[in-house]
Amino acid sequence: MAERRTNPRYGWNGWKMPFGNLRDPEYCEFGCPICRGARRGNPIYKVVQGLMMVLTLGGCWWGRARRRKYGVPPWKAIRASKAKKPSGS
């Protein structure tokens, strides 16, 4: 039987950041409320994310990890063709 892969769950609906793993691109994709809101088109989150990009010179740790893994900036959605398959499949 094939394994079902589920999206990672993060505490406090994403507001509890995984500081123990600063290279977790999945947090930016599935957990970060600011990045998820900006990708969905919320204007307030877009402004906050733009400020973060300027102040941190390229984004937070998780956004940078997402860019390295998927080649897409935090404010853009990942196309299905760019998403990497889970290892072991």
How many angstroms separate the CA atoms of 52 and 46, rounded?
10
Name the pLDDT band for 12 (thresholds 50, 70, 90).
low
pTM of the model: 0.70
Q: What is the pLDDT of residue 85?
A: 53
Of 20-29, 32-41, 72-81, the range with the highest mean pLDDT is 32-41
Contact in structure between 62 and 32 (CB atoms under 8 Å): yes
Provide CB contacts within 8 A for 71, sequence distance 6+.
82
Report the candidate in 85, 77, 84 with the shortest Cα–Cα distance to residue 28.
77
Measured between alpha carbons, how far is 8 from 55 in angstroms, rounded to an integer? 28
Shortest CA distance to 33 belongs to which of 2, 11, 51, 1?
11
Residue spans per domain, the chain: 20-70
Is the pLDDT at 35 greater than 60? The verdict is yes
